[in-house]
Structure 1
């Protein structure tokens, strides 16, 4: 990959000859066209492709959130790329071709902010999920006005429900409405906190799974 320094030609986008121009992290870059391969991919390559596809499909709808909550940027990797790398390496279970995401190992937020204490999830009403947690404000960086982040995922429908900002750490509970089409489905839940400034986040906690009424 080459970086274009805005010389006489400036940056460009698209294919020109044997190179492709594009913008990457605010820089104008150019790459050579990939060479076609006539060889069959190895089992390891096929496995890596399947892992990548699983993780991308799961995380892509959460990209905007992950860019705010997933730790700190490392080198040229964005926060979203850090999340991709972790889940490909640590959150896939099974044997090819029957690979799947291990939701208990999913981490949707990383940071130094104090996480939820004794958080629980329960279903008592149709199309509603109830979350509760215990008070722990004032420890470390934590504050009463830290924003609550709740994420639900329905594997059978491949849909996420995300709630952020309407509830604070001090509230100790949250009732989340879910689509009625979730009725009878199993959903997985995660909880984290984001500081009021949006600069600090906690590492998310997996709350387990429940069946929607």
Structure 2
């Protein structure tokens, strides 16, 4: 697994606002979209492209288009949905799939409750959106599903990551076909499995504490 921590002043500034408990849901959603847009620029550096002819007002030349099959972006619902608009602003031509994955708060193990993805992901580049890389269980399960379905490369875009989650991903994906791009690596997980200092429950802060 390759890890990229996006060390940029604008990202750090927006992450500080995002962490603040006084930041209400409307601003929180706006900040998430802005951060994902910045992170997606880093996450798509290895995007496959192909040469195409193009005629400018001055001359004929050769340009680049994103290759087929189109990239697939997969938000892990519900919190990952808050990242989708920010990603699609940069990559509007992407196809979108969904996976519902939640952590059992007793066992801390991932549970899948919904899935809407193509059956065949042969030769696909996939991008997984999940705000929090905590224990790593949910993200690893999603990445493994995409690889098993034929994806050639999977890049996860996260806002914050705990060292425990990063280590878990590194152990499960020793190859270079999995990448994790994060805005910040935090200190640790607490006894409840929450990232410290973190930013709280991303889903609740995006959408409210709906049961």
Query: Structure 1 length as normaliser, TM-score?
Result: 0.28
Query: Structure 2 length as normaliser, TM-score?
Result: 0.28
More strand by share: 1
**Larger Rg over CA atoms:** 1
More helix by share: 2
More contact order relative to length (CA 8 Å, sep ≥ 6): 2
